[in-house]
Structure formats: structure tokens, C-alpha cells
Structure 1
């Protein structure tokens, strides 16, 4: 496609900025330790240098998990500050765990460590606040405003315009839409007049009257888009293409390369590269800690099952896991039967197969606790779409749009759908559709912070529900 090759001439300095921001954070954390040691009169020996290395590694790792160095121009300042603070907290937690395991906590001064943390926290906040105020002041003075034009009075063009209006911190000033079609063929909800034909936008870009240009034409207009990009090739305007289809279905969109050909991922797992390592580390650490803490509860439940009904304590049922591969999910047995065939009847209210003690386990989700074994083994995650029986998968994949995309990630013990009340029996198609909707929202917006939020909310509202039988 010609326009993809042509688009490569337009570059962004976001990568350069993110490298500078990483360097600045590392410098602040390092200088904070030096200042704390100097203030308390402690020499920076090999032990302190080791602690510095652990904190820097922990900070860098967690920062990537929180996506701390993404562009925050359209983000909320308080979110950026909170993520920076949480990143520092997690890095110091990692330090204390490391120091405890290798038995050198006694060689560290509590005063120095406290001062170090406080200095670093204040430093990370101050530079971000200073940068924020500086940029906002420049935009108020009109010194950092960017003139924006949108080619295409389409639905995707209207969506971009609404975001520009909603986020004045972007520093964008929209001069209008540019469109060649007749007014009756334009998108109905257009809130801005068409400033002129597309040729006017191209000419304004050539004269330097436009800084950013959004192309919101449909994919089928490839020849028109290629022609526009060819004429913009000798300008310095920043060009962004806004796709007109599957905007809500792109669960993890990114540009990839196959040789010299650029591709746009449409259906892809968010856990690629470093993110996969972050997710697996989260599952191993949190899963192992939870298994250790709940071991007395597991033992008590096992005794309760043996005393109240005949049969084994555990029940392993076939489920679809990552990429749709079959896995065996661990559960406490809550029924008098051990159904694991191609035709599994879903539990319903007052189901005669459920034992009295099993009913309690199911209502409180305690029957799911053995799945932390699946998490540690790598078959499941703590947070992710709940696994369905194989027969239910085969039934609903034909009825619910994008159903199988939930298998782009590992199934979870808890999930965004369960937090929002879509758990238990799915006796109607609408219930399953809502569950899938929330599952795909989780996959699309995954972050380490999102996982922590879901885990926290599960403690208060995720274990019980009216639909759990």
C-alpha cells in the first residue's frame, strides 16, 4: 500500500522524550540516595550500591508495567503522579524483599532508607509538576498551541474532534473539517462546519498553516489517501490516520513489520514482549503468596467436603485456555456428580446436583480457590476472563460476536466481568454477551494497575453474587 510507505516520513519525538524522562527518574532516585547518605553521615559502600541497583531495576520494571512513560499529553496529571508514586513504592518493596532474602537488612540504616524514599518521592513529583505547569502556561499564552485540521467529515473524524474538545490540555486548536462530498452525504452528528475541500487542507499544510492533520477517510478510499499523502510528502505537518472500522474491536492495535511491509494488528494478545514477563511475574508472586496464606482454608474446606459427601475433594474439568488450548482447571468438588463430557449442564438455582456444603462454596466462590495451583503452574492467571466449559465455548462462539478473542489471554480466577456482576449462570444470550463485552474491555485496556484494581475489588464484591449457584 503506497500510503503506508509514504507515511514513514512523518516521525514523532515521543521516544526521545521517554528516554529523557527515564534518565531523569533514574538520576533523581540516585541523587536522593546520595543526599540521604550525606545528610546522615553514612558512607555509600557496596551494600548501598547494591540496594540502589535493586531499586533502579525494580523501578524500571514496574514503570514499564504501568506504562509510565507513555504520552500523558491527553492523560490526567493525577494519574501520572499516582503511577509514579506506586512505581517507587513497588521498587522499595522489591528492595526489602531482596534484602530480607539475602539477610543484609541490618546493614541498612532505617533513617537513610526513609530519607531516600521521601526524597525520591518528592523529586519525582516536583519535576512532573514543574513540567506540567510549564507546558500549561505556554499553552495559555498560545506558545505551544498546534493547529489541527481533519480530513473527512466522517464518524471517526467526529470522534477525533470530540476528543480534541474534551482535552484542552492537548494544546490543539481545530481549524475545521475538510471534505469533498456534498453536505447530504456527511456524518449526521457533525458539530463543526466544513471549512473547505480537501485541496484547501493540503495547501494550508504546504503553507505551514497546519501543524497536525488527521485523515479520517474510510479504508476503501485508499487511492484518495495515497494521493493526499503523496502531496503532503514535502511538508512538515504531522499526519495521523484514523481507521474507520473496528474501532471498538481492536483489542490490541499496534504497527508491526513483516520484512519491509507494515501491518496493523487487529486481534492480538496484549501480553507480548516485556508485558508477558510482567504478567507472569505478577501471577507467580501473588499466586504463591495467596496459596501460602490460604493453605489453612484449603485444608478446612477439604475436610468439610469429605465429611459432608462421598467422592474426591478436587475436581478437574476441561476448559479452554490460552489460544483455545485445552487445560484442566482445579476446583473443589461441590456436586454429587463429576461431569466432564462434551455436554455439561450449567448449574442453576436449586440444582439438585449441588451438595449443601457445595452450595456454600459456590455462592462464596471458595470452590475456585484451588485454581491458584493452575496460576502457579502457568495454565491460568489471577486476573482474566473466567474459563467456560468446553461445551459452552462451542455453543456461544457461534452466537456471540468476537467470543473467542477472550482466549487471547489466559483465563483468570477473577475478572472485570465478575467485578461488574456478570458471573454465575448465563441463562440468556444477553448475559453472555455482557460477560464477553467486559472480558474484551479488560483485554483491550490491560495494565498492571488494572489487575491490582480488579484484585482489590474482588475482595469486597467479587466473591458473591445473585447469579452464583
Structure 2
């Protein structure tokens, strides 16, 4: 007999805890601005309205602490602005605005800690057998093995009972033909039924839909994928028609794109003002003393949507005719003495912060390739152009993993593109910060292929 589920209490309990944190901190730390009925109503109603409009509370079984982390930051920013705007609306004069910034920071930290503890508890509770769902699959195809990985993960709280299919099987999880499923579902308290669309007729599906609706059972359809599913795929609805988007790029979202651009402008401005402002004249003298030619080396490279831009570097080679077609190799005679130092420490790349400031590049992203290499690789390397869905970067995931500089073996470019595509599909601010920190570490410690 299935134990009673208390999953319907999760959201009310979380709302109660969140409001307790907010009201408790405000009561104990700033009673002078909190203890009046209007303020209390405002703080609580504002939280309800903001979380409702952000759809903050509904959670899926596969959701983790990091799943909707952006939504959490949205909430903190919007509620923070609402909190401080209340002082202007009411004319309440807080003693020290810095003190209230500290108060709000404490609230955010406590809310975040609770969120983390919530997911730790849920995972532990489900792994011990609580809050589970009985599931069966109707119609077996090669996707069953993949979806079983989800069902078999104890942290998600699924109990996989088996599958039904008109083709008999010796598998221990084979439960019988499709017509046998109805009695089994009722007798075994099945909560969710997953149907493989390619294995069922229209009448089979309609019978299952009617059966599920009449017995309070959730029915989920696994579409016929034609072997086209990708890790970056999402499902969108056009009116009532589900449409598969096979290439969802996180940086296509307005928040991600704008936030990354703001970060790029701020970061590049700091580097230009506090580093390049004195480094440029110093290197101008050193580079000119060793070899004739300009301070900067500019080269046409491909960026976002394969558009060409002028990539800027400190000149590290003697002027030569192969600069736009031949990459630097180990012990390359074209590299000057000062150039070897610049390349070893990646200082030669610093002028690209001008490219970042102007919007042609980002601090982090796939490294831009020269035009000749793009023309070669887009033909010879599968999915090469996917890396051009985002702006190129001064540093990137492939670079911190050791795939930078000269292409010696075919696997070098294949692994570089694999990591570039992974970055495009999995971008986050946390990933960017990790790449920046590891880039600085690698520049200080020295890299084997930095020549």
C-alpha cells in the first residue's frame, strides 16, 4: 500500500519559511521601520505578488538548487528594489541606508541557505523512499534505456514498475501487452504513465488519454524523436502545438545577454583604465626597440554569426607575410624576444579588451579564428559553426582545458570545438567566473602551448 504523500504541502511550507525569515529579520533588526501594520502588509503582499509573477514556487522533480538559480537572483533584485522603494513612498526615514543594505543581504543569505537545505532534505527523503511516484512506460523503443536513467536516480523519487509493449520481451521489467496496462495501473497505484508515441496508434493514445483523465493519472508523451534530440533542445508551444527547438542558447535570453554585456563593459573598462593605460606606452617602447613595425597587430577574424571584425593584439612577431594564414608554432622564428614573453604570459591578448568594450568580443567565449581557418574547419569539422552562436572571447572553456594555440593533431581541433559547443549550450555566470579564475592561474603558472 502506498504511503501518504505530503508533496502538496511543500510549496505552502516554503512560503511560510520565506515569510518567517523576512518578517523575523525585519522585526529583530529594524523594528522602527517594520512595526506598523502598513509596512507589514506591504512586505508580505509584495513577496506574494513578485514570486507569483516569477512563477517561483512550482518545482519539478528533476529540479536542483542550481536549476532556477537565475530566477532566484531575479527575485532578490526585484524584491530588493521594492523594499527600498517603500521608504520613498511612505516617507519613512531609515537611520542608515547602509544598515538596511546589510539587513537585506542577511535576508538573501538566509533565503539562499534555506533553499539549499530544502533540496538537500528532498534528495535525502526521496533516496530513503519518501515522496515517490510509481511510473510505467507504454511502448518500448531505444529511448526507454535513456529515460530509465532518470527513473533509477533515487534523488528524483520515481519507482519504475516496468513497461508494456505488444512485442514480447524477456526483460525482467516487461509487464505485458499494451491492453494489459489498464488493470495493472489501477491495481498498483501507478501515478504517472509515459507513452512512446511512435509505438502507439492514434486510437491507442486516445484510449490512454481518456483512461488517465478518468482515473486521476498523469499521462506523459515521449515524442518520436527521429534521432534528432540534442542536449540543447527545449520545447516551445505555438498556440497548442508543441515545437522542438533543437538549439537553445542560454545567451539568447534577454537577461543573460544584457547581464553578460554589462559585465563585459565594466570588466573591460577596468582593464583599460588601470592596466592598459600604462602598459601600452611601456610596450610601445619595448616592441619598437626590438623590431620595426606597429605596436598592435590587427587581424580579420570571425565573431558572432560569423561576422568579421578586427581582432587586436600586441605585436609579438616580426612583420611577415604569413601572419594571416599560419598559426604560431613551437620555436617559431617569427616570434621576437619580447614577443615570447608576451605570448607565454598571454599579455599579447590584452588589447582585445578594446574589442570587448566595443562589443565585438566578450571576456569569455570561444576563441575567434582567422578567416582562413574558419573556411577550412567549417567544411572539415562537424558542427564547427555552432561556436558562432555567441560572441568570441579573450579566453574560453577550451583554452583552460589545454586546447589552445597550434593544432598538432586532428583531435586538438575536435576537442576544442566540442568544448566550445559545451560552453555555448551550458553558459552561466558561474562558468564564466571559473574560466576567468583558471585563465589567470594558467597565465601565472605558464602554459605548455603558450608560444
Q: Name the counterpart of 2:148.
A: 161
Q: Does 2:172 align with 1:196?
A: no
1:175 matches 2:161: yes
Equivalent residue in structure 1 for 2:348, among 356, 363, 367: 367
Name the CA distance, whole Å, in 1 between partners of 2:396 and 2:336. Answer: 26
Q: Deviations over 1:17-72 (max 9, x none)?
A: 9999799868855764464222xx5689xxx9xxx9xxx9xx99xxx9xx997957
Match of 1:108 among 87, 96, 108: 96
Equivalent residue runs for 1:292-303 within 5 Å: 292-295=273-276, 296-303=278-285
Indicate if the aligned counterparts of 2:161 and 2:173 stay in contact, CA closer than 8 A. no
CA 457–71 in structure 1, closer or farther in 2 if over 3 Å, else same: farther
Calculate the TM-score normalised by the size of structure 2: 0.75
1:331 Cα deviation (Å)? Answer: 1.2
**Residue 36 of structure 1 aligns with which residue?**
29
How far off is 1:197 after superposition?
A: 2.8
Contact 2:21 2:110 (C-alpha < 8 Å) held by counterparts: no
Q: What residue number does 1:231 align with?
A: 207
- In the alignment, what sits opposite 1:7? none
The alpha-carbon distance between structure 1 residues 152 and 299, as it changes in their structure 2 partners (threshold 3 A), is farther
- Distance 1:462-1:406 versus aligned 2 partners, 3 A rule: farther
Change (3 A) 1:290 1:164: farther
Q: 1:245 aligns with which of 221, 227, 242?
A: 227
Distance 2:303 2:64 in 1: 35
1:452 to 430, 433, 450: 433
Quick one: distance in 2 between partners of 1:451 and 1:345?
29
C-alpha displacement of 1:156: 2.7
SS in 1 for 2:251: coil
Give distance in 1, aligned partners of 2:221 and 2:19: 32
CA contact (8 A) 1:155 1:244 kept: no
Which structure: larger Rg? 2
Return the alpha-carbon distance in structure 2 between the equivalents of residues 156 and 278 of structure 1. Answer: 37
Mapped partners of 2:176, 2:57: distance in 1: 38
Pairwise CA RMSD: 4.3
**Equivalence for 1:333:** 315
Q: Is 2:100 aligned against 1:118? A: no
Change (3 A) 1:237 1:458: same
Contact 2:129 2:157 in 1 (8 A): no
- TM-score scaled by length of structure 1: 0.73
Task: Note closer, same or farther for the CA distance 1:120–1:448 as it changes in structure 2 (3 Å cut).
Answer: closer
What is the rounded CA distance, in whole Å, between the counterparts of 2:355 and 2:58 in structure 1?
33
1-structure distance, mates of 2:367, 2:16: 40
Q: Residue 297 of structure 2: SS of its match in structure 1?
A: strand
What is the Cα deviation at residue 409 of structure 1?
Answer: 1.0
Return 282-291 or 255-264, whichever deviates more.
255-264
Distance 2:13 2:309 in 1: 44
Confirm or deny: 8 A CA contact 2:140 2:164 kept in the other structure.
yes
Q: Is the 8 A contact 2:298 2:313 kept in 1?
A: yes
**1:309 is the counterpart of 2:291:** yes
Q: Is the 8 A contact 1:179 1:198 kept in 2?
A: yes
Using the alignment, how far apart are the partners of 2:434 and 2:238 within structure 1? 36
CA pair 43-265 structure 1, distance change in 2 beyond 3 A = closer
- How many residue pairs get matched? 410
Do structure 1's residue 210 and structure 2's residue 190 form an aligned pair? Answer: yes
Deviations 1:169-206 (A, max 9, x none): 2110000133333549xxxxx8x532223443466457
Cα distance between partner residues in 2 of 1:300 and 1:215: 68
SS in 1 for 2:146: helix
